[in-house]
Amino acid sequence: MTTTSLPVAETWYKTEQLSSRLWLITEPHVHPIFSANMHLVLGRDADLLIDSGMGVAPLRPVVDGLRPDAARPLICLSTHTHVDHIGAVHEFDERLVHPVEAAEHENPEPYFLSTDSISRAFRDLFLKAGYPALWPVLINALPHEGYDIEGYRLRGAVPTGLVEEGDRIDLGDWQAEVLHLPGHSPGQVGLWHAESGTLFGADAIYDGPLIYEGAGMDVVAYAESLRRVQALPVEVVHGGHDPSFGKGWLDEIVARYLQLWKNETAPA
Ligand SMILES: [Zn+2]
Ligand SMILES: [Zn+2]
């Protein structure tokens, strides 16, 4: 496929205000497998961006456009280092990740937009999980006229700080606790805002096919992470993919996967 055969998107990023201080940013022209949610939390002293998408188009101007004061500090938290969560992280000055994935954050596995570059085993994993088949390239539109699909590279960036279980992200008038939720990836983190019962579940929990059989994934750890989030007094979950949901649906998702994995996760 040549770049000229794809239409040019009107805007690359879609932005949606979820509450007075929370924005959802998505990439609707990225294939559903690689189209992740980015959340922007506005605070009094600083703002927080949770994940940074594929890095197909500049993200920083979009994020700054949503912030009341773009001169205020901005923290970018990478929930883990899969391509769809760290693509634009190099555009941000303050970059946090769990120590287990710090090296990958700096030097991520190379990624290209051509689907041919993705291993057959990896593609099959997503199909088996329930995702639609991949397109020839991972995008169905160009961010701008003349965009060079072949020139895309996943860059990564050196983390400027590390976050572990129990750490707090403090925006002055908004504090959330870091939860280490391994399983989908070894250094997967979520964020728990206890005051509002809000869980940023990242790729530990979202309302779509969960991915648990690839490199670095661990079903036993994943089951434990799901039990942990289920025990929280959750009002709303904003996941790493797909629309947000409440406690009732969280319980259904967890029950479904624990049932699916019961042979692998049964005590010896
Ligand atoms: Zn992931
Ligand atoms: Zn993801």
The CA distance from 92 to 82, in Å, is 17
Domain boundaries, the chain: 3-261
Q: How far is the CA of 85 from the centre of ligand 1 (A)?
A: 7
CA of 257 to the centre of ligand 2 (A): 17
Q: Characterize the bridge pairing of strands 175-180 and 94-97.
A: unpaired
36 Cα to the center of ligand 2, angstroms: 5
Amino acid in the structure at residue 202: A
Per-residue model confidence as pLDDT tens for the chain (268 residues)? 454 589 999 999 999 999 999 999 999 999 999 999 999 999 999 999 999 999 999 999 999 999 999 999 999 999 999 999 999 999 999 999 999 999 999 999 999 999 998 888 888 989 998 999 999 999 999 999 999 999 999 999 999 999 999 999 999 999 999 999 999 999 999 999 999 999 999 999 999 999 999 889 999 999 999 999 999 999 999 999 999 999 999 999 999 999 999 999 887 6
How many Å lie between the centroid of ligand 1 and the Cα of residue 69?
31
* Cα 239 to ligand 2 centroid, rounded to whole Å: 9
Do the bridges between strand 22-26 and strand 38-42 make them parallel or antiparallel, or are there none, so unpaired? antiparallel
Distance, in Å, from the CA atom of 149 to the CA atom of 119, rounded to the nearest integer, reads 19
pTM score, whole prediction: 0.96
CATH annotation of 3-261 = 3.60.15.10
Chain centroid offset of residue 40 CA: 12
